[in-house]
Amino acid sequence: MRVDIGNALDSVAMPGVPRDALDRLDERVADAHERIERGRAGDEFGYAALNLPERTDPDAIRAAVEPVAGAEAILTVGIGGSALGAATVSTALSDGSEPGLFTLDNVDPAETVELLELLPLADTAVNVVSKSGTTAETLANFLVVREAFERAGVDWTERTVVTTGPDGPLRDLADEHGLPALDVPEGVPGRFAALSAVGLVPAAIQGHDVGAILAGGREVTDALSGSLFETPAYAYGAVAYALCRRGAGTVAMMPYAERLEPFAEWFAQLWAESLGKDGVGQTPARALGATDQHSQLQLYRAGPRDKFVTLVRPSERPSCPIPETDVEGLSYLGGAGLGELLAAEFEATEASLAAADRPNVRVEIDRLDARGIGRLLAGMEAACILAGELSGVETFTQPAVEWGKRAARGLLGGGDFPEAEAVAEKTTLEVE
């Protein structure tokens, strides 16, 4: 992973970070790095995430998915951190020759019913993920999926791989039916667990080299050092923090690769849930290049000076030549390839933001392959942990989501929760 923060300097951008402020910030990066390394050494909650590339056993994952190897479709049932990492890794590596990827990470009846009708259940692998084994959305969906298999006369116990914590309903189920079961790693919140069974099962079923993904991650975690000028991940995290302090309350994450669309979503969870607390945090906005040049770029370039744009790309792409054409005004396209067009758009957008004094950061990996995605995920996790240290927040908790969970459970008759009563007290001013 390479990170170029040149366009985030105050000589280019407003808001921008003065070069000498970066030097001073680097002293805090050194302290934060020490804290992070201490956390890793002691396997402390959250910090342990950076040990996953080393700790995760690719052989255990390969063995667990063996019974469903060759599946035509892979259905992940999970939500949040139990779904986004898996979607990110497997989509990044898909070239269309692999099994189809599907995710049930919502409880929309329209979608669930439709998907279960479309899937070739007898050739579908089900990847169900919940740390507690009690996540309402995931378990409700899994109950529905299980029933669909039964109705279709397909033995779901032959098609299901479970990833869960040491106990709970999913673990019991796996034990009872002898399902292949993998462990959600201890001491790591879901959003930091992509480089474990939580994020790697679908890629393993697809036949990708899980060991290479982990090796890519490990290259990043092994190379973390006490200076942002030597550690790309820290350069990103430190500059994001420094820009946020100077008014860039939003980060637009804009990969230039369709297969990184779920990555932007994964990043959005990582950033929002880890750093958004105590009244501070930076809001992630997901975008996609070049598509969103025709949508969000107007705002990014001419709207309020409250954001910075992160442009991500693989340097190498497959080739797809654009056919020659004699149509007037289009002939310049012929002879180039779609990849060159996309590269020109990437550089043009970067320059166009800089020309309007808008801060932006470039993140590059060599190729969108197993090592590349491992590097990118580990790099952004390290960046996020650093930004959390600099911000002084509890990076690894998400207390603000509990209220709503209790209210929903109460509304469904799952117990007495005062939060459910608050729902009825809603202030209404309805316009019809």
In the range 54-113, which residues lie near a copy of itself by CB under 8 A? 79-81, 83-84, 95-96, 105-113
Which residues in the 115-144 window bind a copy of itself by CB under 8 A?
115, 117-118, 134, 136-137, 139-141, 143-144
CB of 375 to a copy of itself, least distance (A): 12
What phi and psi values does residue 280 have, to the nearest 5 degrees?
A: -120, 180
CB of 316 to a copy of itself, least distance (A): 11
Which residues in the 378-397 window bind a copy of itself by CB under 8 A?
none
Report the distance separating Cα 221 and Cα 231, nearest Å: 10
Does residue 145 contact residue 124 with C-beta atoms inside 8 Å?
no
Tell how strand 124-130 and strand 181-183 pair up.
Answer: unpaired
Look up residue 278 and give its amino acid. D
CB of 57 to a copy of itself, least distance (A): 27
Task: Pick the binder of a copy of itself from 147, 158, 167, 416 (CB under 8 A).
Answer: 147
Give the nearer residue to a copy of itself in terms of CB position, either 59 or 153: 153
What phi and psi values does residue 3 have, to the nearest 5 degrees?
A: -125, 125
**Tokens matching residue 22:** 């970066």
Task: Pick the binder of a copy of itself from 27, 155, 172, 222 (CB under 8 A).
Answer: 172
Which are the contacts of 236, defined by CB distance < 8 A and separation ≥ 6? 3, 5, 310, 361, 363, 379, 380, 383
* Residue located via tokens 């479970």: 162
Task: Pick the binder of a copy of itself from 90, 127, 221, 250 (CB under 8 A).
Answer: 250
**Tokens matching residue 161:** 């791989």
Report the distance separating Cα 154 and Cα 165, nearest Å: 27
Give the nearer residue to a copy of itself in terms of CB position, either 34 or 230: 230
Closest CA to 122 of 142, 157, 149, 146: 149
Task: Pick the binder of a copy of itself from 157, 215, 219, 352 (CB under 8 A).
Answer: 352
Is 277 a known active-site residue?
no
CB of 251 to a copy of itself, least distance (A): 11
Is 33 a known active-site residue?
no
Which are the contacts of 48, defined by CB distance < 8 A and separation ≥ 6? 39, 40, 185, 186, 187, 188
Which residues in the 252-271 window bind a copy of itself by CB under 8 A?
256-259, 265, 268-269
Report the distance separating Cα 207 and Cα 66, nearest Å: 10
Look up residue 217 and give its amino acid. G
Active-site residue (options: 98, 137, 265, 273): 273
Active-site residue (options: 111, 258, 402, 405): 405
Is 405 a known active-site residue?
yes
Report the distance separating Cα 124 and Cα 143, nearest Å: 16
CB of 180 to a copy of itself, least distance (A): 20
Which residues in the 267-306 window bind a copy of itself by CB under 8 A?
268-269, 272-273, 275-281, 283-286, 288-291, 293-306
What phi and psi values does residue 295 have, to the nearest 5 degrees?
A: -150, -65
Contact region with a copy of itself (CB under 8 A), list: 36-44, 60-68, 152-160, 321-329: 321-329
Tell how strand 360-365 and strand 2-4 pair up.
Answer: antiparallel
Active-site residue (options: 117, 294, 328, 425): 294
Which residues in the 178-237 window bind a copy of itself by CB under 8 A?
191, 228-232, 235
Which residues in the 14-43 window bind a copy of itself by CB under 8 A?
none
Q: Which residues participate in catalysis according to the annotation? A: 273, 294, 405
